[in-house]
């Protein structure tokens, strides 16, 4: 059925005269997707003995949260976990990522622990995120079963009981399937819903690319590299600048344009942010893992400058402590990201890469996050330690400098090419703002009557 709708949609796209890669289907959602969305927002699956109840949507807040507009993330550096202990305030290990684009990922979580969305959802529904302690997953399964079986549809907009919805959407009989099968079916529906949360490609950056006839994406599958992309982009821009005809959508000003050049500027160029090396379009991620110095900054802030370097030098096998929030009282605790999963089965090992080099490269390596709607996903980085985009950019500036001055040899080599100064921060922040999606209707306005020509001066 999904395939049928997709092919109909493709047919419709082909008829559109002006089709700026729109992916906003308006069709009614498929039954499994609608079920998944309902499960996503239902707070009755968390541990009923906890201080508060929670759902996926509590931490991955779809549109608006208590502190304003959001994009499938909350506003906390680390999210609050419902706990059954009185008075205990527990938080997640890391910052909740946005779910926009998550359906396209091949590795999930900041450290790539999961390679399947469904496996991740199964674990979260029966784990700490939902207030369950290790060893309580049987209770979690009972709770899910009880809620689904007893539901009378009262809380749903459709008023359809879960049992009927599971039957229609997945041909699952809630009363007779095993608890494990019920969890699997729920996870399948939720994963199908999450997979629909695609970017709409309606940011001012998309409009800018459209207006200046720049292919807004890097086609890695076709062997197109970020460096090729940067070359093409700058070739086109130089041409437009020469003819005084760099076009821009409403509110895309010279500051944002300067930021764009820094962002895409690679080794040997006048502006050199080298951001594109890891954050490449269309989603502004390479979906790979790098040590960009974030874990180290947090560790050093607690244990003194240089202490993370010493910690890494003395590192032994992965343990609970190497996948932990750093703690002033316990220097053995640090977050080493994908290193915890860098065993022989890790798909991230490059062909022919020496084991020692791979292990070193994966220490404190985290997934490059997509930069989609950055204004709605603060605070930033895996630990949520950076409140504003400017703070996040200053972290990049410091890490770039440390890598160049060889003060930190554990950082990803591409960081040495991140050569930005305090003067570049406002421009880069302005460019990041051009990555916020405005939605299909406003986008049409952006590329139609909201355009202007940038008047320079071009440096």
In the complex, the smallest distance separating the C-beta of residue 169 from ligand HEC, rounded to whole angstroms, is 17
Contacts 24+ apart (CB under 8 A), 438-443: 438/202, 438/203, 438/204, 439/200, 439/202, 440/22, 440/24, 440/200, 440/202, 442/202, 443/20, 443/200, 443/202, 443/206, 443/207
| Joined tokens for residue 101 | 């684009």
Does residue 60 interact with ligand HEC by CB under 6 A? Answer: yes
- Choosing from 30, 93, 315, 348, the residue that interacts with ligand HEC (CB under 6 A) is 93
Does residue 433 interact with ligand HEC by CB under 6 A? Answer: no
Write the CB contacts of 27 (distance below 8 Å, at least 6 apart in sequence): 5, 9
The position carrying tokens 């527990």 is: 90
Does residue 37 interact with ligand HEC by CB under 6 A? Answer: no
Q: In this complex, which beta carbon is closest to ligand HEC, that of residue 60 or of residue 450?
A: 60
Neighbours of 255 (CB within 10 A): 15
Q: Considering only residues 325-384, where is the footprint of ligand HEC by CB under 6 A?
A: 366, 368-369, 371, 374, 377, 380-382
In the complex, the smallest distance separating the C-beta of residue 455 from ligand HEC, rounded to whole angstroms, is 25
Does residue 61 interact with ligand HEC by CB under 6 A? Answer: no
Q: In this complex, which beta carbon is closest to ligand HEC, that of residue 109 or of residue 450?
A: 109
| Joined tokens for residue 325 | 């929030």
- CA 385, distance to chain mean position in Å, is 16
| Joined tokens for residue 363 | 């220490």
Does residue 148 interact with ligand HEC by CB under 6 A? Answer: no
Does residue 97 interact with ligand HEC by CB under 6 A? Answer: yes
Binding span for ligand HEC by CB under 6 A among 149-157, 212-220, 224-232, 410-418: 410-418
- Choosing from 273, 281, 282, 450, the residue that interacts with ligand HEC (CB under 6 A) is 273
Does residue 389 interact with ligand HEC by CB under 6 A? Answer: yes
Does residue 277 interact with ligand HEC by CB under 6 A? Answer: yes
- b vs e for 66-91, b when ≥16 Cβ sit within 10 Å of the residue's Cβ? eeeebbbbbbbbbbbbbbeeeeeebe
In the complex, the smallest distance separating the C-beta of residue 310 from ligand HEC, rounded to whole angstroms, is 20
Cα distances from 411 to residues 101, 110, 285, 363, 366, in angstroms, run: 27, 17, 18, 9, 12
- Choosing from 275, 336, 435, 438, the residue that interacts with ligand HEC (CB under 6 A) is 275
Cα distances from 190 to residues 3, 129, 161, in angstroms, run: 19, 15, 17
The position carrying tokens 């160029």 is: 269
Binding span for ligand HEC by CB under 6 A among 115-123, 175-183, 204-212, 297-305: 115-123
Cα distances from 401 to residues 227, 300, 341, 384, 423, in angstroms, run: 22, 16, 29, 22, 15
Q: Which of 280, 292, 286, 256 is nearest to 401 (CA)?
A: 292
Q: Which of 65, 84, 87 is nearest to 74 (CA)?
A: 65
Q: In this complex, which beta carbon is closest to ligand HEC, that of residue 161 or of residue 296?
A: 296
In the complex, the smallest distance separating the C-beta of residue 386 from ligand HEC, rounded to whole angstroms, is 7
Neighbours of 256 (CB within 10 A): 24
Q: In this complex, which beta carbon is closest to ligand HEC, that of residue 99 or of residue 218?
A: 99
Contact 410, 309 (CB under 8 A): yes
- Choosing from 414, 425, 434, 435, the residue that interacts with ligand HEC (CB under 6 A) is 414
Q: In this complex, which beta carbon is closest to ligand HEC, that of residue 32 or of residue 447?
A: 32
In the complex, the smallest distance separating the C-beta of residue 288 from ligand HEC, rounded to whole angstroms, is 8
Q: In this complex, which beta carbon is closest to ligand HEC, that of residue 102 or of residue 248?
A: 102
**Per-residue string for binding with ligand HEC, 278-297, x by CB under 6 A?**
xx----------x-x-x---
Does residue 392 interact with ligand HEC by CB under 6 A? Answer: yes
How far is it, in rounded angstroms, from Cα 190 to Cα 179? 17
| Joined tokens for residue 196 | 């629909």
Does residue 269 interact with ligand HEC by CB under 6 A? Answer: no
Does residue 190 interact with ligand HEC by CB under 6 A? Answer: yes
Does residue 105 interact with ligand HEC by CB under 6 A? Answer: yes
Contact 411, 403 (CB under 8 A): yes
How far is it, in rounded angstroms, from Cα 9 to Cα 69? 30
Number of residues that bind ligand HEC (CB under 6 A): 56
Please report, as ranges, the residues that interact with ligand HEC according to CB under 6 A: 54, 56, 58-60, 79, 81, 92-94, 96-97, 99, 102, 105, 108-111, 117, 120-121, 124-125, 129, 190, 194, 263, 273-275, 277-279, 290, 292, 294, 366, 368-369, 371, 374, 377, 380-382, 389, 392-393, 396, 412, 414-415, 418, 420, 428
């Amino acid at each position: 059925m999904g395939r049928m709708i997709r092919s109909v949609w493709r047919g419709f796209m082909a008829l559109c005269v002006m089709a700026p890669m729109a992916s906003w289907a308006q069709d009614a959602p498929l039954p499994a997707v609608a079920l998944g969305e309902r499960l996503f927002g239902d707070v009755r699956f968390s541990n009923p003995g906890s201080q508060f109840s929670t759902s996926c949507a509590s931490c991955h807040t779809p549109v608006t949260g208590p502190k304003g507009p959001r994009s499938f993330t909350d506003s906390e550096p680390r999210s609050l976990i419902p706990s059954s202990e009185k008075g205990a305030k527990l938080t997640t290990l890391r910052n909740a990522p946005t779910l926009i684009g998550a359906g396209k990922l091949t590795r999930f979580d900041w450290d790539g622990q999961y390679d399947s969305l469904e496996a991740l959802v199964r674990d979260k529904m029966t784990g700490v995120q939902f207030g369950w302690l290790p060893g309580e997953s049987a209770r979690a399964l009972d709770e899910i079963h009880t809620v689904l079986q007893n539901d009378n549809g009262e809380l749903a907009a459709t008023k359809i009981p879960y049992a009927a919805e599971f039957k229609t959407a997945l041909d699952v009989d809630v009363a007779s399937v095993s608890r494990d099968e019920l969890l699997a079916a729920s996870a399948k529906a939720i994963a199908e819903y999450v997979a629909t949360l695609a970017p709409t490609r309606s940011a001012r950056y998309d409009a800018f690319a459209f207006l200046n006839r720049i292919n807004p994406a890097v086609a890695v599958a076709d062997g197109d590299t970020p460096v090729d992309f940067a070359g093409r982009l700058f070739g086109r821009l130089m041409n437009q600048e020469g003819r005084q005809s760099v076009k821009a959508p409403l509110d895309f000003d010279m500051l944002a344009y300067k930021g764009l050049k820094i962002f895409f500027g690679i080794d040997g160029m006048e502006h050199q942010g080298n951001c594109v090396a890891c954050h490449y379009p269309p989603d502004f991620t390479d979906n790979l893992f790098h040590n960009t110095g974030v874990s180290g900054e947090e560790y050093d802030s607690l244990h003194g400058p240089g202490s993370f370097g010493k910690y890494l030098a003395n590192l032994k096998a992965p343990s609970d402590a190497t996948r932990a929030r750093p703690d002033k009282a316990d220097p053995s605790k640090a977050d080493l990201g994908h290193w915890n999963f860098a065993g022989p089965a890790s798909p991230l090992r490059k062909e022919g890469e020496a084991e020692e080099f791979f292990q070193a490269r994966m220490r404190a390596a985290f997934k490059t996050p997509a930069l989609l709607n950055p204004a709605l996903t603060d605070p930033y980085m895996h630990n949520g330690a950076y409140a504003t985009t400017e703070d996040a950019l200053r972290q990049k500036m410091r890490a770039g400098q440390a890598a160049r001055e060889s003060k930190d040899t554990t950082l990803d080599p591409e960081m040495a090419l991140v050569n930005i100064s305090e003067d570049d921060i406002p421009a880069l922040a302005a460019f990041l703002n051009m990555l916020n999606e405005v939605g299909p209707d406003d986008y049409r306005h952006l590329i139609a009557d909201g355009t202007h020509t940038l008047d320079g001066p071009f440096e």
